[in-house]
Amino acid sequence: MKMFVPILALICLLQSGIAIADQKPVDAQARQSNYHAAETYYAHLISGTISEGAELNLLMTMLPKGGDLHNHYSGAQYSETYIDWLGKLKYCIYSENDASLQAEKYRIETRTDIPEAARKICRTADAVRNDTAFYREVLKRWSNKDYANHYHTQPAPDLQFFDTFGYFWAASNYSYTEGLKILKERAKAENLQYLEMMFKGAPDVDNPALARQINSLPPNAAVADVNQAFSAYADFMASDPQALKKIADHVSYLETVIAGVDDSDFKIRLQSYVSRNNQPAQIFSGLYSAFAAATKSSLIVGVNFVGPENGYVAMRDYKLHMQMFQFLRQRFPGTRLALHAGELALGMVPPEGLRFHIHDAVEIAGAKRIGHGVDISHESNALELLASMRAKQVAVEVNLTSNEFILGVKNEAHPVNLYRRHGVPFVISTDDPGVSRNNLSGEYLLFVSRYKPSYRELKEVVFNSIRYSFLSDRDKEAELASLDKRFEKFEAAVAKLTKQ
Ligand SMILES: [Zn+2]
């Protein structure tokens, strides 16, 4: 078997997946032989030198990747798209700071009736694109672009990352239909069949008297007191007309947004979510809505919890938050949780803050999947926790680029090998590919080039992305069958090129 296949031959054979799609089904023996050919070729590429990097990249682009289970809609769009959209919305971007005009450099101005002096320093989308230097500056500020490859005055990476959302949010709601179409086409182009997306936060409704009960709970409050305060607020949310309307609107909005996106080769499902850095009662109210929404709609398949985990409030109230999930799971049995937990590294917070987050997300909140799980080796009873995650089949969503940028954790420092060694299932996902300026193929490239899993394991990880999704059993079965077919075609194509 020839192992060194010219890149050009690969590209010609596999361009746009047409050659793959046109191939006929193969019999069992041929399939086995194709599997071995793909396995051997892949093993050669990951054992190779840097000269095979592009071939490996191409193979990861072709690879069927099942689903991306951890991605945020607004962080998935590239800044170039947001600049297009702010142009359509007739907004502008400030190119200077001026407190008297409420102008902040790189921020979007959404008002149309601004003073002439403000107008002079606020650039239209076209003006931004026509000024190469400023255009580059905006891309750098609105995403992680160029952060690592040259020096400039820069904020800490976690701040840089989370600040980007504040810059582009005003353009992000231009057209969800168009935005989802972009993400769908991008996903299909890299052989993905499923996106499970965090799209929009769940609404909250204030009840000052009941909020006081939750907000004044002391640290380590008795469980009975905590549950009494939660119960009162939950009863209010269940009967208040405004709350019921907001929840119904949230559900119908999400269902409308993704209506018609599914086709025979692609599915999208949503998670409702709440941000973790607000006051406890507001978070509880939002979580109630998120759980209620997930119960009401088969298209909202889970609940998540987002925002910087090292934020003051997020750290202070972590245990209380996990108790909220525990309580609401009893109110809404069967709701599935994928929680960001352990997105922390030594030095970001005092060491005590690294010891229990994943544990509590799994054992108290009852999460079925953990987003990131990076600080696992600092957990108080890490070995017991790993065994429990394995026994309960709690999957970890591994986001390599995001973890490298925000936490500075990469290569051997990343716990992916620890999870592998302890048999904890995991998936490869993107988190915020627009901000990170990456895609899922790029994440797989990092995974295989850094950790060199066997071809068998690589396939297992891909299949995990459907197996541990929150799709219904019926949909899951269909998507697993579809994924198997995709691999059949992929392996036949790889076998063919290795014989050339
Ligand atoms: Zn995330």
CATH number, domain of 242, equals 3.20.20.140
- Ligand 1 midpoint to CA 454 (Å): 27
Distance 105 CA to ligand 1 centre (A): 27
The tally of domains found in the chain comes to 3
pLDDT at 262: 95
Distance 8 CA to ligand 1 centre (A): 36
The pLDDT averaged over each successive group of 10 residues in the chain (500 residues) is: 40 41 69 96 84 87 98 92 92 93 92 92 94 89 78 75 81 86 96 96 98 94 96 98 98 94 96 96 98 97 96 96 98 98 95 97 98 98 98 98 94 97 98 93 96 97 98 98 98 92
How far does residue 75's CA lie from ligand 1's centre (Å)? 9
pTM of the model: 0.90
Give the pairing type, strands 66-72 and 192-201.
parallel
Please check whether residues 88 and 50 belong to one and the same domain.
no
- Domain boundary residue, one of 91, 117, 142: 142
- CA 274–ligand 1 middle distance (angstroms): 12
Report the separation in Å between the CA atom of 397 and the middle of ligand 1, taken as the mean of its atom positions: 9
Domain that holds residue 12: 7-62+494-498
231 C-alpha to ligand 1 centroid (Å): 29
- pLDDT at position 12 is 39
Identify the pLDDT of residue 165: 82
- Answer whether residue 148 is part of any domain: no
Give residue 242 CA to ligand 1 midpoint distance, Å.
30
Q: Is 49 among the domain residues?
A: yes
Last residue of a domain, one of 142, 166, 194: 142
pLDDT, position 15: 40
One domain for residues 253 and 301? yes
* Same domain for 136 and 16: no
CA of 249 to the centre of ligand 1 (A): 25
Q: Establish if 171 belongs to a structural domain.
A: no
Residues 133 and 216 in one domain: no
In a domain, 482, yes or no: no
Based on the fold, state whether residues 268 and 185 are members of the same structural domain: yes
Q: Are residues 53 and 107 in the same domain?
A: no
Angle between helices 53-62 and 7-14 (to 10 degrees): 10
Does residue 56 sit in the same domain as residue 83?
no
Q: How far is the CA of 225 from the centre of ligand 1 (A)?
A: 32
- Classify residue 489: in a domain, yes or no: no
Quote the pLDDT of residue 24.
Answer: 56
Same domain, 54 and 188: no
Decide if 89 contacts 171 (C-beta within 8 A). yes
Assigned domain for 435 exists: yes
In angstroms, what is the span from residue 52 Cα to ligand 1's centroid? 31
Based on the fold, state whether residues 196 and 316 are members of the same structural domain. yes
The pLDDT score that the predictor gives to residue 10 is: 42
Give 498 Cα–ligand 1 centroid separation in angstroms: 38
Question: Are residues 255 and 123 both part of a single domain?
Answer: no
Same domain, 201 and 272: yes
According to the model, what pLDDT value does residue 392 have? Answer: 98
Identify whether 121 is part of a domain.
yes
pLDDT at 112: 84
Domain assignment present for 476: no
Work out the angle at residue 316's Cα, subtended by the Cα atoms of residues 313 and 321, and round it to the nearest 5 degrees. Answer: 85
For residue 311, the CA-to-ligand 1 centroid distance in Å is 15
Would you state the pLDDT for residue 173? Answer: 81
CB 201 within 8 A of CB 274: yes
Residues 56 and 89 in one domain: no
Half-sphere exposure of residue 185: CA atoms within 13 angstroms, side-chain side: 6
The alpha carbon of 14 and the centre of ligand 1 are apart by a number of angstroms equal to: 32
